[in-house]
Amino acid sequence: VGVTVLVNGAPTSCVDASDRGFQYGDGVFTTLPVRQGVPMFLPLHLARLERDCGRLSIPFPGRDVLLQDACILCKTRPDGVLKIQITRGIGGRGYRPPEQSVPTRVLGIHPPPDYPPELWTEGVEVRFCRTRLGINPSLAGVKHLNRLEQILARMEWPMGEIREGLMLDMDGRVTEGTMTNLFAARGGVLFTPKLDLCGVVGIMRALVCEGAGELGLAVEETRITPDELYAADELFLTNSVIGVWPVCRLEGRIFPVGQATRELSRWLAVRIQEECAAVCTG
Amino acid sequence: VGVTVLVNGAPTSCVDASDRGFQYGDGVFTTLPVRQGVPMFLPLHLARLERDCGRLSIPFPGRDVLLQDACILCKTRPDGVLKIQITRGIGGRGYRPPEQSVPTRVLGIHPPPDYPPELWTEGVEVRFCRTRLGINPSLAGVKHLNRLEQILARMEWPMGEIREGLMLDMDGRVTEGTMTNLFAARGGVLFTPKLDLCGVVGIMRALVCEGAGELGLAVEETRITPDELYAADELFLTNSVIGVWPVCRLEGRIFPVGQATRELSRWLAVRIQEECAAVCTG
């Protein structure tokens, strides 16, 4: 086995305990699959990391250096999951960052999750979580390292049939899954929660919206109540590692794997093949 | 210089990048002053760490092992600031913790902050922050490692005359400072924000409430608006490292260092001397 973790480009898994990532969760991250040695949609993930660093005023280490690290790790494990973390680095006095932060970058490559293939074809069972998402526009949309709400939510049910929990915000609107974004289809229109108050704006969410555009499906970002969700024709979940998972069951209610979900899954499969081919030959 | 950082009892400052503290801010902490080799009010801090670990279902490493580590560090720097962090440790699949978490404990001893002594006698200048605290009863009160709200708030003003920023919650109620709890005195009664929706329940806040009881001052935990704060007779801030700071100026309004603040400061000074004496002789 070759290198699986790089901290600032060095083959180690050691970070300093005084790093603000460890002290305060002061950083951002992204996770993406690697297929045939190609980190999927890496430019989108790097753009997102840069945008999220900007939201927190963390200096961005630069796309080139992250790309370099990613390439080294993809050789170790050509089919895996790549995680990229950027923190504000070491230093500062209490919460106040130092005048000149030197960010820490940590990249790690992991085995792919071993989900059974039926999850993509037959769909997944989903529940509602009791743990809510606090509302805070300052952090909304950012994939930051403050993830206790998701952890408490994920601890509510044991490993097993239920694959994801949906989270409401403090006002009772459906926002996202603990690790996924959520779409509902009704009357030929796609709906997905607005993420201006809380939640993570996922890369796969953006890709699916792009696909919907190409397929002539309207997408509305909106506030969604649990009752509106129960009234949907189809539901599906997205994230970069899983792509699209149809929801077949929500709190006991059955949903079919519908046309919009199937069309978008097919569109995504083609897009992924193109991405592989373009990078492998390019 | 001797040992300044212990990770699980070992003299190193290296933590694994896969530690859930670094991955998700999945942990808790506390900070306390060390005087003449004595970690001040350590039993209260250990009790708080145990309670906060319980809130997040993190196994508590035990008071004895934390006390042992603390004693080693206090020998290195008999007058300093001790920070104790406990994380859920390494492992788990995504947000879901492993079945059996093995917590990580990190203790570090740091030089004391070099605040000028007038801050305690003449008071500090304070502002309101634009960054709000998200409301979430699941995390309210806990001194956890998800501190991005405090960091964004602390970044709003430069180092200088202003020593603290007050934070409102998303509903506009005054909750706390970025690193302190807040008290207001009016008509001989102390008021302090209720911390059931957000905020950190500080050890010094509890001590001051105890002192108020001994001095015959009523304390009310309540919701406080900025206007009610402006109407107070006296304001002061508390945390374990500073003790009590009178507020002499809030957004340009002048406050006197009043009687309640002075009496409580004196009560605390005696309590601290007793604590030193009891431990040093005991």
Tens of each residue's pLDDT in chain A, 282 residues: 789 999 999 999 999 999 999 999 999 999 999 999 999 999 999 999 999 999 999 999 999 999 999 999 999 999 999 999 999 999 888 999 999 999 999 999 999 999 999 999 999 999 999 999 999 999 999 999 999 999 999 999 999 999 999 999 999 999 999 999 999 999 999 999 999 999 999 999 999 999 999 999 999 999 999 999 999 999 999 999 999 999 999 999 999 999 999 999 999 999 999 998 876 554
Chain A residues closer than 8 Å to B135 by CB: 134-135, 170
pLDDT band at B280 (very low <50, low <70, confident <90, very high): low
The residue whose two tokens read 């801090």 is B45
Rounded Cα gap, residues B41 and B34, in angstroms = 9
Rounded Cα gap, residues A203 and A41, in angstroms = 9
Chain B residues closer than 8 Å to A170 by CB: 134-136, 170
Closest residue to A25, CB basis, from B17, B56, B145: B145
Give me the catalytic one of A164, A176, A234, A275. Answer: A176
Q: Is residue A75 annotated as part of the catalytic site, yes or no?
A: no
Q: Chain B within 8 Å of A3 (Cβ-Cβ)?
A: no
Q: Give Cβ neighbours of residue A158 (< 8 Å, ≥ 6 apart).
A: none
The pTM score is: 0.97
Element (H, E) at A101: none
- Max CA-CA distance within chain A? 55
Contact B183, B190 (CB under 8 A): yes
User: What's the gap in Å between the CA of B110 and the closest CA on chain A?
Assistant: 11
Q: Is residue A228 annotated as part of the catalytic site, yes or no?
A: no
- Please give the angle made by the CA atoms of A13, A179 and A268, to the nearest 5 degrees: 105
Contact A61, A101 (CB under 8 A): no
Rounded Cα gap, residues A149 and B95, in angstroms = 10
Closest residue to B178, CB basis, from A95, A131, A152: A95
Considering only residues 62 to 91 of chain B, which have any Cβ-Cβ distance to chain A shorter than 8 Å?
85, 87
Closest residue to B151, CB basis, from A24, A159, A178: A24
Give the number of other CB atoms < 10 A from CB of residue B125.
17
pLDDT > 70? residue B61: yes
Handedness of CA A198, A204, A208, A209 (dihedral sign): positive
Scanning every residue of chain B, which has its alpha carbon at the shortest distance from the alpha carbon of A154? B96
Amino acid at A180: T
Contact B108 A17 (CB under 8 A): yes
Contact A14, B14 (CB under 8 A): yes
pLDDT digits (tens, 9 = 90+) for B141-169: 999 999 999 999 999 999 999 999 999 99
Q: Chain B within 8 Å of A252 (Cβ-Cβ)?
A: no
The residue whose two tokens read 């997944």 is A124
Scanning every residue of chain A, which has its alpha carbon at the shortest distance from the alpha carbon of B29? A23
Scanning every residue of chain A, which has its alpha carbon at the shortest distance from the alpha carbon of B150? A95
